[in-house]
Structure 1
Amino acid sequence: MSQVFITGANRGIGLALTKLYLKAGWDVVACCRNPAQADDLLYLISDNPGLEVYQLDVTDYDAVRELAQELADRPISLLINNAGYYGPYNIAIGDTDVEEWRQVMEINAIAPMKVVEAFLPHLKLARGTVANISSKMGSMTDNCSGGSYFYRSSKAALNAVTKSLAQDLAVDGIKAVVIHPGWVRTDMGGPHGLIDTETSSTGIKSVLDNLSAEQSGHFYDFKGNLIPW
């Protein structure tokens, strides 16, 4: 049975991906910071014996390692680093809060790497795939409007991390890819997003289902279109 590990699974894209993979017959390890408040996620447990829900703050690296140890010897076919943080909006030049910037960078770029490091033995067992949920806002080529310094820089960093993972883990048969989920109507994306979570998650799963070794280390949107760095 294939197993997927998803962070930020309590709402938005993470919850939609959890539902989609369960429907497809996968076992799902769903992680979020506050399971007690994740009613929509917990509701799925009764009808889905393949679902396990764990409390996990991805920036608590001791907890990440402990969970990896708890799940030792379990092959993970797909690790989706979905948890993310936009940070404050409308940051102007001369008004950058360093502590907020550090938090955005840690959640969006450093934590995904630490999760991969902790679960690397599990990925090796399955010759699995790392899917890092990024954004076109991390693309240098696509940046035609400026601003969003915290979020853009964090996603650009995540893209660089993923590219290196793809190079370094190829010897183990592990693929790593960056996915832009689209502008989705979520708490982060806001009510004016162009697509819903079901459309985004369905597209993401299709991209990952058909991902070849040659596509590892690249940047795709949820439709499978290549995005320039």
Structure 2
Amino acid sequence: METYLITGANRGIGFALVQQCLANGHRVIATYRDKASANALFELAFESGLLTLVQAELDTEAGIEGLVGELAGQALDVLINNAGIMGPDQQDLDGLDSAAWLATFTINTVAPFHLSRLLLPNLLQSARPRIITISSQMGSLARQSTGSYAYRSSKAAVNKVMQVMATELADQGVIVCPMHPGWVQTDMGGMEADISAQQSAAGIVHFVQSLSMAQSGRFWTWQGEEHPW
């Protein structure tokens, strides 16, 4: 039995990841932003003794440090940085608010970095520590596409952050990978997307369970296929 920490777990891919990990018999610590949007998560916690819920604001360093403080001494096998936002409605050449762009970076890029580094003492208690960040192929420099400047740039940046972190933590045996979850039927992805959150989560968890150091520092899809940067 392993212990997973999953951020942004009250809906979408995060909630499906919690369900999948519990179904596989793992302990799960799940974060949510506000109780009003986490009813399903609380119901799941009532049903399962393996799920612990923690309220966390990940858009400030104080919020991240508060979460880390609550987890002091707790061994973690897997951190899944899932919390993320699409960013402002207008993200094209005709206008992109700088403050909204920076807010997108704060959640999608900076928060995963700070949380990962501050939880290293927890992760290093594991025999096979893994840091997984839910990224997107929209951040791949190999793809030609338009619009969504804030979201795309934040995901491209977090990909590089995780690649560098993988290199720096290799000597300590920490596996670090960004993952593309697929085009998923969520509030962000829309109902026209290719796959359900449950399909995405099942693929991600299956892959995470088999990850080795040889795969660290590379960009992967939910199907376990390497994605070009």
Q: TM-score, normalised by structure 1?
A: 0.96
Report the alpha carbon displacement of residue 67 of structure 1 after superposing the two structures with TM: 2.4
Mark the runs of 5 or more structure 1 residues left unpaired by the alignment: none
Q: Is contact 1:181–1:222 with CA below 8 Å preserved after alignment?
A: yes
- Worse overlay, 150-159 or 54-63: 54-63
What SS does the aligned partner of 1:83 have?
coil
Distance in 1 (alpha carbons) for counterparts of 2:20 and 2:131: 17
Q: Is contact 2:64–2:111 with CA below 8 Å preserved after alignment?
A: no
Distance in 1 (alpha carbons) for counterparts of 2:222 and 2:180: 6
Report the alpha carbon displacement of residue 163 of structure 1 after superposing the two structures with TM: 0.1
Runs of 4+ in structure 1 over 3 Å off: none
Question: Is it true that 1:199 corresponds to 2:225 in the alignment?
Answer: no
Question: Is it true that 1:137 corresponds to 2:153 in the alignment?
Answer: no
Residues 175-190 of structure 1 correspond to what in structure 2 (within 5 A)? 175-190=175-190
What SS does the aligned partner of 1:80 have?
strand
Report the alpha carbon displacement of residue 58 of structure 1 after superposing the two structures with TM: 1.0
Report the alpha carbon displacement of residue 177 of structure 1 after superposing the two structures with TM: 0.4
Question: Is it true that 1:213 corresponds to 2:213 in the alignment?
Answer: yes
Residues 54-133 of structure 1 correspond to what in structure 2 (within 5 A)? 54-126=54-126, 127-133=128-134
Q: Is contact 1:18–1:30 with CA below 8 Å preserved after alignment?
A: yes
Q: Is contact 2:82–2:133 with CA below 8 Å preserved after alignment?
A: yes
Report the alpha carbon displacement of residue 90 of structure 1 after superposing the two structures with TM: 4.8
Aligned letter for 2:100? E
Mark the runs of 5 or more structure 2 residues left unpaired by the alignment: none
What SS does the aligned partner of 2:80 have?
strand
What SS does the aligned partner of 1:157 have?
helix
Report the alpha carbon displacement of residue 203 of structure 1 after superposing the two structures with TM: 0.6
| Equivalences, count | 228
> Percent identity at matched positions?
40
Report the alpha carbon displacement of residue 36 of structure 1 after superposing the two structures with TM: 4.0
1:7-48 deviation line (CA, Å, top 9, x unaligned): 000000000000111111111000010134311100011221
What SS does the aligned partner of 1:67 have?
helix
What SS does the aligned partner of 2:125 have?
helix
What SS does the aligned partner of 2:124 have?
helix
Distance in 1 (alpha carbons) for counterparts of 2:88 and 2:69: 35
1:115-160 deviation line (CA, Å, top 9, x unaligned): 1122111011114100000000010002x22221111100000000
Q: Is contact 2:56–2:66 with CA below 8 Å preserved after alignment?
A: no
What SS does the aligned partner of 1:125 have?
coil
What SS does the aligned partner of 1:179 have?
strand
Give the CA RMSD over aligned residues.
1.2
Report the alpha carbon displacement of residue 60 of structure 1 after superposing the two structures with TM: 2.5
Q: TM-score, normalised by structure 2?
A: 0.96
Question: Is it true that 1:159 corresponds to 2:155 in the alignment?
Answer: no
Aligned letter for 1:65? E
Distance in 2 (alpha carbons) for counterparts of 1:49 and 1:206: 22
